[in-house]
Amino acid sequence: MPEPDRIIRLKTVLSRTGLSRSTIYRKITEGTFPAQIRISVNGAGWRESDINRWVADPVSWRPKHEFDEAR
């Protein structure tokens, strides 16, 4: 049984990617970095699996589409 996907916060994402905060948000806007998910009214984070996938191949990373997950 696979482990559940953890939600990680900005500080962890900064550490794992080596990117600056402004670069992360610019890349999200460009569609070349995983978008945040809302976890509360004032909080957001990233799926750990999305960040791991980006770290493994940042140049060719593209968002997963819902239909990709069904396959």
pLDDT in tens, 18-56: 999 999 999 999 999 999 999 999 999 999 999 999 999
Whole-angstrom distance, CA of residue 25 vs CA of residue 14:
11
Q: Which two tokens stand for residue 8?
A: 């990680």
Whole-angstrom distance, CA of residue 20 vs CA of residue 11:
10
Residue 14: pLDDT over 60: yes
Domain ranges of the chain: 7-58
pTM over the 0.85 mark? no
DSSP conformation class of 37 = E
